[in-house]
Amino acid sequence: MARVACDRAGATFKGSGSRPVSEHVQAFISRPGFGQRSQKRIGQQEGEAALAAQNSVLTQIARPYASALFDLAQSENQLASVETGLSDISRLIGESDDFARYLRSPVISGDVKAAALDAILGKAEVNPLLANFLRLVAKNSRLFALDNIIAVFRELAAAARGEATADVTSAAPLTDAQAKALGETLKAKLGKTVTLNQFVDPSLIGGLQVKVGSQMIDSSLKTKLAAMKVAMKEVG
């Protein structure tokens, strides 16, 4: 059973007979090349490039945490339970704009977020190992990267099962039926089960953006409207 141990350095997160997660995280952070920033200049598509760069940085921050959680959950034989708990947390973030803003707010301290998270975890039936991990993330002021931590964990879990992952962004949260239908469609195309990482972006207006590996399928209304504007300018 996982437990939290506090010392002068702050919270550490342990599984029985395992190294603290903080040590796992440090091991990943210490890897050669970790944290190095790209020096590529942002060109004409400045807004999109900046967003992509931001997501890349968040993924860099998220990967050591997600990898540490994956390793510990796997060693404790709790992968399925932890992944289910992360899906519940992800759904909560997607359904509540206030909660999402709270997690990402830079003016709210990690300790305050950790206390609020404790109240939520106390009412929910969350895997104890996952609950302790989330408390560590909160105390380390990394909850702003939680979406990315969840996405990287799912990617690792899917790879371990021989599955693929797809990042799906929609204007509103997908229903269970919509997610199931999309998963089945992608499975038919890829020939393997696909785990969906779902994100919400109201600016898309409608439709979907689906990314599998380096392939992007963009059927969002936002992109279609932008294409129409370009076509109208060319005609004019």
Q: pLDDT of 153-196, one tens digit each?
A: 998 998 898 888 888 888 888 888 999 999 999 999 888 899 88
| pTM of structure | 0.63
Q: List domains and CATH numbers for the chain.
A: 1-30+52-161 (1.10.520.20), 163-236 (no CATH)
Q: What is residue 53's predicted lDDT score, i.e. its pLDDT?
A: 64
DSSP codes joined into one string, 59-98: HHHHHHHHHHHHHHHHHTT-HHHHHHHHHHHHHHHHH-HH
More confident residue, 51 or 203: 203
Q: Is the pLDDT of residue 230 over 60?
A: yes
Q: What is residue 51's predicted lDDT score, i.e. its pLDDT?
A: 53
Q: What is residue 184's predicted lDDT score, i.e. its pLDDT?
A: 92
Alpha carbons within 13 angstroms on the beta-carbon side of residue 99 total 13
Residue 83's contacts (CB-CB under 8 Å, 6 or more residues apart) are 73, 153, 154, 157
Q: Is the pLDDT of residue 69 over 90?
A: yes
More confident residue, 136 or 233: 136
